[in-house]
Every structure is written in C-alpha cells, then in structure tokens.
C-alpha cells in the first residue's frame, strides 16, 4: 500500500520530478531548478558527494591492497561488470554488483551499470562530439529505423549551450561530418599521433585524424570556476572521481549548481517502480518509489516528469507503468516501446609499432586525450555493402624497459636506468548498429527483483551488417597503418557480447508518427505529453559519435521547452 503517514501529499508534491542523476538527469535537474521549478531528483543508488566520496582519488599504487587488481572472488561474483575496462580496485565501488541486480539474457548482453548519485558520469570516457545532419538524416536516407523529427539546426544552439557550461576541449577542425563546437584549447597529440595525422592528410582525401574532443577543463573559464571546478591535471585517474572537477560529471557540475538554486530535493536510495497515470486527468501525476533500504513504498507527485534512468532502465520504468489506458506500458499506443534497441559496436582493434625517425618525441607526461578518426564510410553516398559507418580512436605511446641480461653492478645500473622502448600504436572501432524490431527489451512475466520490479529480459545481438562493418574497419585501418609505415600491424576481434560497449540506445525512440515512435520532437511521449525522455532511450539511431554530449543538449532543450509550456498553461 502507498505510504499514508505524517508526510502530507503537499510535502510530496513538486513542480517536476527527474528520474536518474547521471549525465542527462543532472542536466534536466539543473535546467528545471534554474528556471524556478521545485524539482525532486530521484536516484536508486547511494549518494556520492563531489570530492568527499572519492575514497581512492589520491591513493598511491602501494596503498591498494591488491595493487589495483580485482581479486578473483570479486570477479566471480560479478562476472559481467568485471569485463569493463574501468572495473579495477580503484573504481569498482562505482559499479553495481551483478548478483544484487540480476536480469535475464535471452541473448548474451553485458549490461554495465553504476547506481549512485552521478551514475556513470563518474565513469564515462568523456569523449564529446556533435552530430551532423549526416547522422540525423541517416534513417531517412537508407530506410532503416524511422526519420528523426529534428535536424542539426534544431540542436546546434543547445550543443553550444551545454559545451560552454560543461567545458569541452577541442580544435576547430572544419569538418562537415563532425561540426565544430564551443571549445577550450585542445589537448595536444603526441609525436606519433601527430605524425599519423600528417600521413592520413597526405594519403587520403576524405579521412582525418583530429585531437579527440573531451569534457576536460584544459583552460577553465569563469563559469567553470563558479562551479568550483579547476583545471584538468592530466592525472588520467578519472575513474576514481576527480577532486579538481577537471572533467565534467553530474557530481562536480550540474547537481551542485541545481542545489545552489534552493529548488532541488535530492533523494538517493529510491528505486522507481513506475509512473502513475491518472486516466481522468489524462496525464501522469507522479511516480511510485520503493525505498532501496527499507522497501517502503512512497508516492511523489508533480506536473512534469523527466525519465533519465539510463536507456535500459528508462525502458523498464515505462514498460512497468501500466494502467487501463496503457496496458502495455506508459505511452505505448504504437507497440514499439522496448523495441529497436541499438548500441555502438566496439568490436575490433588494430595495433602496430612505429620505429621511424621523429623530429620530436614525447617521453613523459600524460594527457586524457588521444586521436579520433571521424566516420569516413557512407557519408555522402552509400559506397559499401553495409549500412552506416564507424569512427575510430587512435593512440600512440611508448614504455620503458630494462636490460636484464647482465649481472651484478651492471644489472643494478640497468634496472635503475630504464630505457625507452619503441612506440606502439592502436585503434579501436566505434560502429553504428542498425535499430531492429527483433532487438528488444521486455519484462519477465513472473520474476521480480528485491524491490518488486519485474526483471528485464534483454534480446540484442550483432548482425550481418555489424560483421561486414568490422571487416571493413580491419581492412581500412590496417591499410592506413601500413601506409604510415607502422610495423607488425595486427587485427583483433574483441570477445564479448553487446552491452560491454556501454552505449546502449533506443526503445523509446523519437519520430514524427505516433504510430511508429514513442516521442515527438520535444521528447514528450506522444500519448502523455507531460512525460519527457532525454537519455539514451530516446535515440532513433545511434550515429558513430559518443552520445553523452547529445544527451546533455537534448535534456537542456527539452527542459526549457517544458518550462515554457508550463508558463503557457499547456502542462
């Protein structure tokens, strides 16, 4: 039964409720509170306060009990999340424990989650690229998925808006396929990355290597100092939480900003069971929450609701929000809720060595940056036997080695005076997968979790298009490496299932037609206009760019629209 204690309904009523405190939820909360709305921000996990709750951020290697390795017993208890590259002793406290949060894999799917205030904004790779019209027009061009109801011109000013606040380092590269933004100074490429950039420009007309665009404060501006953030120190320990606020996270930026307004109520330990729909009023009126620790059921009420629980959990919440009006999930008149899920395909790597001469070299120092190769396949026309395309990362580095062949004083001297090894180079693929009806999320009819929420069934897989794209990536990047003079060029297919790529999207897609989509151009449910979805679930297609910057821009745009509509009396 709902809670009926001394808390009055009035005390549980807000202007807005935001579900989820990650990148998109933090932005939704910031915008709504800044515009004067009393806002409840719900997070199913624990509270994590900036700096205070980063326990490993300044630890030295010898201070870790296992020297930053994860013990086998922990890996065996969390076999899925332990596959993630950031799941190490210094950051594993920011990941869920698999055995505490089960789900059903109809097909293998590695679901990586971070349940705490700030969500995965504490763990993301911080790469930030704008979409272009090549991306927004993709489905209309090839007929897979439905047409986006927006174009680049609709979102461009909101990209600028969030970039200035978040702080994005990058160069003005002048590429149509990767629009420029509002940038802080870029992080410099190292010697071999710079060399490869020159070789790509020399040998390829429509391919480019650029300095990766990153949500790091290379040169803080007044707005960043006002947030209490400082310059990136190039520590490359970002997954621990940055005590300087050098990279963008909800914890360091949007949530404290929202709290300063006096309009934010943050409630951690709050599992959202479902959204409450009032059939007489014809709108959503609130959410049903299960306290994570006590299992107590509580209802909160508001005029508008932003669902930012991360893509898969947002689908879960809407699927579980059933009523006589919506027996198959809130707003699901079209029957597409939970379907057409897609992701980014990080399926392969190319590696090599560089031994050639350089007129400059880097021997020490760190940078959060690296190189980025924007999509160059099927941009202006269909030119391959697969749809869409891929971007690629590129990085180069060199390590030290010691000659251990000697003995005595010579060996001691060799160990104390290490030598620089040869340069190693590497690339990873980030491919666009095609949203398909058979890629879906649904609720199990019988099994529930510890909070009474039905378990999710996930059925998502690679397809023939992904295989063809991966082969093309191997061929093209290997050719580029060889043309640049790199040696021992090798390809490697990454083992594992979808999900480990982390960029899951779709299930509550945008579109023009309520018969084939869930959301309109303002991220409102077609059939329930006071519910907005601006996280990865809203995506109609995936593009090749890292998606977080687009979620930020979507959230800011939708929140400002919602406030304007409320002022007009339309909510």
Domain parsing of the chain, residue ranges: 1-170+213-342+503-571, 174-211+347-433+462-496
Over the stretch 25-34, which tens digit does the pLDDT of each residue have?
A: 999 999 999 9
Sign (positive or negative) of CA dihedral 48, 49, 55, 61: positive
How would you class 407 by CB atoms within 10 Å of its CB: exposed for 0-12, middle for 13-18, buried for 19 or more? exposed
Q: Tell me what pLDDT residue 525 has.
A: 98
What average pLDDT is seen over the chain? 95
Q: Is 373 helix (H, G, I), strand (E, B) or coil?
A: strand
> At residue 366, does pLDDT exceed 80?
no
> At residue 225, does pLDDT exceed 60?
yes
- Give yes or no for a contact between 16 and 244, defined as CB atoms under 8 angstroms apart: no
Residue 428, beta-bridge partner list: 349, 393
- Beta strand 454-459 with 104-105 is parallel
DSSP sequence for 438-478: TSEEEEEEEEE-TTSPEEEEEE----HHHHHHHHHHHHHHH
Q: How many CB atoms lie under 10 A from the CB of residue 206?
A: 11
Average pLDDT in the 462-476 region?
97
Over the stretch 393-418, which tens digit does the pLDDT of each residue have?
A: 999 998 888 888 889 998 899 889 88
Over the stretch 127-142, which tens digit does the pLDDT of each residue have?
A: 999 999 999 999 999 9
Sign (positive or negative) of CA dihedral 380, 386, 390, 396: negative
- Give yes or no for a contact between 41 and 255, defined as CB atoms under 8 angstroms apart: yes
Sign (positive or negative) of CA dihedral 441, 446, 449, 452: positive
CA end-to-end distance (rounded Å), the chain? 28
Q: Tell me what pLDDT residue 364 has.
A: 46
> What is the distance between the alpha carbons of residues 255 and 272, in angstroms, rounded to a whole number?
19
> What is the distance between the alpha carbons of residues 27 and 530, in angstroms, rounded to a whole number?
18
- Eight-class DSSP state of 254: I
> Which among 551, 555, 517 is positioned nearest to 536, based on CA atoms?
551
Q: Tell me what pLDDT residue 363 has.
A: 46
Q: How confident is the model at residue 5 (pLDDT cuts 50, 70, 90)?
A: low
- Give yes or no for a contact between 228 and 256, defined as CB atoms under 8 angstroms apart: yes
Over the stretch 430-461, which tens digit does the pLDDT of each residue have?
A: 999 999 999 999 999 999 999 999 999 999 99
How many CA atoms within 13 Å lie on the side-chain side of 50?
Answer: 22
Q: Tell me what pLDDT residue 458 has.
A: 98
Q: How many CB atoms lie under 10 A from the CB of residue 551?
A: 25
Average pLDDT in the 43-61 region?
98
Q: Is 256 helix (H, G, I), strand (E, B) or coil?
A: helix
**In the numeric block, which tokens belong to residue 373?**
């190769």
> Which among 434, 430, 390 is positioned nearest to 540, based on CA atoms?
434
CATH topology of domain 1-170+213-342+503-571: FAD/NAD(P)-binding domain (3.50.50)
**In the numeric block, which tokens belong to residue 429?**
């693929």
> What is the distance between the alpha carbons of residues 39 and 42, in angstroms, rounded to a whole number?
10
> Which among 216, 296, 199 is positioned nearest to 252, based on CA atoms?
216
- Give yes or no for a contact between 338 and 440, defined as CB atoms under 8 angstroms apart: yes
Over the stretch 154-181, which tens digit does the pLDDT of each residue have?
A: 999 999 999 999 999 999 999 999 999 9
Q: Tell me what pLDDT residue 7 has.
A: 59
> Which among 475, 467, 460 is positioned nearest to 385, based on CA atoms?
467
**In the numeric block, which tokens belong to residue 527?**
């059939």
- Beta strand 528-533 with 297-307 is parallel
């Amino acid at each position: 039964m709902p809670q009926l204690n001394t808390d009055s309904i009035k005390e549980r009523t807000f202007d807005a409720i935001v579900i989820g405190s990650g990148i998109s939820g933090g932005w939704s909360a910031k915008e709504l509170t800044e515009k004067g709305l009393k806002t409840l921000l719900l997070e199913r996990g624990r509270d994590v306060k900036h700096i205070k709750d980063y326990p490993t951020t300044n630890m030295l290697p010898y201070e870790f009990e296992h020297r930053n390795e994860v013990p086998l017993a922990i890996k065996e208890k969390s076999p899925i999340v332990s596959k993630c590259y950031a799941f190490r002793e210094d950051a594993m406290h920011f990941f869920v424990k698999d055995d505490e949060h089960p789900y059903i894999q109809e097909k293998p799917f590695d679901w990586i989650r971070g349940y705490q205030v700030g969500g995965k904004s504490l763990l993301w790779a911080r790469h930030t690229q704008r979409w272009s019209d090549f991306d927004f027009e993709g489905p209309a061009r090839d007929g897979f998925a439905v047409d986006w109801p927006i174009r680049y011109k609709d979102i461009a000013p909101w990209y600028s808006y969030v970039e200035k606040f978040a702080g994005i380092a990058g160069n003005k590269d002048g590429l149509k396929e990767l629009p420029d933004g509002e940038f802080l100074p870029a992080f410099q490429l190292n010697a071999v990355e710079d060399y490869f950039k020159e070789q790509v420009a020399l040998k390829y007309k429509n391919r480019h290597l650029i300095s990766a665009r990153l949500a790091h404060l290379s040169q803080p501006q007044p707005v960043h100092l006002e947030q209490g953030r400082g310059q990136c120190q190039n520590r490359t320990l970002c997954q621990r939480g940055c005590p300087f606020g050098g990279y963008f996270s909800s914890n360091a930026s949007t949530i404290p900003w929202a709290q300063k307004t006096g309009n934010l109520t943050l409630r951690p330990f709050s599992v959202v069971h479902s959204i409450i729909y009032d059939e007489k009023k014809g709108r959503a009126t609130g959410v049903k929450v299960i306290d994570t620790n006590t299992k107590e059921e509580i209802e909160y009420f508001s005029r508008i609701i932003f669902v930012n629980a991360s893509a898969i959990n947002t689908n879960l919440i809407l699927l579980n929000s059933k009523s006589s009006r919506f027996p198959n999930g809130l707003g699901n008149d079209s029957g597409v809720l939970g379907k057409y899920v897609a992701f980014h395909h990080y399926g392969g790597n190319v590696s090599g060595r560089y031994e050639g001469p350089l007129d400059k070299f880097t021997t020490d120092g760190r940078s959060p940056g690296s190189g980025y190769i924007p999509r160059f396949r099927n941009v202006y026309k269909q030119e391959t036997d697969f749809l869409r395309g891929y971007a690629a990362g590129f990085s180069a580095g060199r390590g030290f080695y010691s000659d251990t062949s000697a003995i005595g004083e010579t060996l001691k001297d060799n160990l104390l005076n290490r030598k620089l090894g040869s340069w190693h180079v590497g690339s990873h693929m980030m491919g666009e997968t095609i949203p398909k009806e058979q890629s879906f999320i649904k609720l199990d009819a019988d099994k529930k979790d510890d909070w009474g929420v039905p378990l999710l069934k996930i059925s998502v897989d690679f397809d023939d298009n992904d295989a063809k794209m991966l082969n093309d990536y191997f061929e093209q990047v290997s050719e580029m490496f060889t043309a640049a003079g790199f040696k021992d060029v090798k390809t490697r297919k990454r083992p594992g299932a979808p999900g480990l790529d982390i960029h899951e999207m779709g299930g509550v897609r945008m579109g023009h037609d309520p018969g084939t989509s869930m959301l309109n151009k303002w991220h409102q449910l077609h059939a329930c206009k006071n519910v907005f979805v601006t996280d990865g679930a809203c995506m109609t297609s995936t593009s090749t760019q890292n998606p977080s910057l687009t979620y930020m821009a979507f959230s800011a745009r939708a929140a400002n629209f919602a406030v304007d509509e409320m002022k007009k009396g339309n909510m």
